[in-house]
Amino acid sequence: MSETPVNLDELRNRIDAIDTEILRLISERATCAQTVAQVKTAEDPHAVFYRPEREAQVLRRIMALNAGPLDSEEMARLFREIMSACLALEQPVKVAYLGPEGTFTQQAALKHFGESAKSLPMAAIDEVFREVEAGAANYGVVPVENSTEGVVNHTLDSFMDSSMKISGEVVLRIHHHLLVSSTTRQDKISRIYSHPQSFAQCRKWLDAHYPQAERVPVSSNAEAARLVKTEWHSAAIAGDMAAKLYGLDKIAEKIEDRPDNSTRFLIIGHESVPMSGDDKTSLVVAMRNQPGALHDLLEPFHRHQIDLTRLETRPSRTGAWNYVFFIDFKGHIDQPVVVAMLEEVRLRAAEVKVLGSYPQGVL
């Protein structure tokens, strides 16, 4: 190893030399990705360039190899952006998300696909599904559950009617801030705008700090931020993206009641995803109304030692079956143990729909 230079000029020269090397290597990587695109097209003219299982493997490998001083998540984020740019060279991905711009769902979309993806805001969850179904977007991003507030029913309901497959998941730590504009009279805040979920996640903080302010629910945090721009007596609860988008100031940071507040988002698309080595599967199962139905359904999971990560019940809307269960478990439908388990579940259930097997969220 060369000796560590000690003066500033020497250190900067060394950084320049390292950057030249990084630049050369990133370009070499990008050229490689372009060649991958040619190989994919030669094999199949309609080839899909984005490979979620491969991307998950690349990120996991980088995290395992990383020896510091940057932490593994930070390193993986850098590689996430390099891959995103490489994929954009092959074919830019279009991602529809629950908008408007500045929502946590957009943040999740960018976290998963990187900044080189083209993100398209949609007004509602079922519009995200429709946009992807129609082919106007390659993938969609929708929220599915929050650690404080529970499941997002609109998303589960949309899956019941749709043929979309789940191709990935993203978990995002949700930090809420109290935001004001430069003209807000901070001592006169009489109204606070936010999405109902965010109010629920900051309830205790609001009761303690702004018990008198009127809480006005709006359709998204970004919409709350937009409204505050023009009202001198109002504040908004929203995240960093909305604060940046509307140029608002944070007068209180991380006001969520629970420090581990996080939301899980699903990526929807048309393709099935091969195994990545650390996968999850989501199912919808309709059961007949009979005593012991839930026990019968879960018994094969238990016997095959399959790890359930979530079980949600929704009322069936067809009237034909009384229960519809949304089940997530660790494993991939191409694994023999999962095939065997599912065969047994199919015998016991009225209907089983596999929504997809996909890599467990890495970042």
Q: Which positions are catalytic?
A: 263, 265
Is 55 a binder of ligand ISJ (CB under 6 A)?
Answer: yes
Applying CB under 6 A, which part among 79-87, 124-132, 162-170, 230-238 lies near ligand ISJ? Answer: 79-87
User: Which helix (H) or strand (E) element contains residue 164?
Assistant: none
Residues 6+ apart with CB under 8 A from 185: 232, 233
Output 86 or 293, the one with its CB closest to ligand ISJ.
Answer: 86
Applying CB under 6 A, which part among 43-51, 109-117, 233-241, 269-277 lies near ligand ISJ? Answer: 43-51
**One residue of 49, 246, 301, 323 binding ligand ISJ per CB under 6 A:** 49
Ranges within 207-246 binding ligand ISJ (CB under 6 A): none
CA distance 277 to 274: 9
* Cis geometry, peptide bond prior to residue 69 (ω within 30 degrees of 0): yes
Output 41 or 335, the one with its CB closest to ligand ISJ.
Answer: 41
Is 88 a binder of ligand ISJ (CB under 6 A)?
Answer: no
Q: Binding marks (x or -) toward ligand ISJ, 4..33, rule CB under 6 A?
A: -----------------------------x
- Cα–Cα distance list, 236 to 101, 179, 208, 250, 339 (Å): 16, 5, 16, 10, 49
CB 34, min distance to ligand ISJ, A: 9
- Cα–Cα distance list, 239 to 3, 57, 206, 229, 282 (Å): 45, 30, 16, 15, 29
Is 51 a binder of ligand ISJ (CB under 6 A)?
Answer: yes
CB 30 within 8 A of CB 86: yes
Q: Beta strands 323-330 and 351-359: pairing type?
A: unpaired
Output 50 or 323, the one with its CB closest to ligand ISJ.
Answer: 50
Is 113 a binder of ligand ISJ (CB under 6 A)?
Answer: no
Q: What is the dihedral of CA 69, 72, 77, 81, to 10 degrees?
A: 80
CA angle, residues 315, 316, 321, in degrees to nearest 5:
125
CB 51, min distance to ligand ISJ, A: 4
Handedness of CA 116, 120, 125, 126 (dihedral sign): negative
Output 58 or 75, the one with its CB closest to ligand ISJ.
Answer: 58
How many residues bind to ligand ISJ according to rule CB under 6 A?
A: 12
Is 86 a binder of ligand ISJ (CB under 6 A)?
Answer: yes
Tokens of 298: 């879960």
**One residue of 83, 98, 224, 286 binding ligand ISJ per CB under 6 A:** 83
Q: Tokens 């259930």, residue?
A: 349
CB 228, min distance to ligand ISJ, A: 39
- List residues near ligand ISJ by CB under 6 A: 33, 36, 49-51, 54-55, 58, 83, 86-87, 90
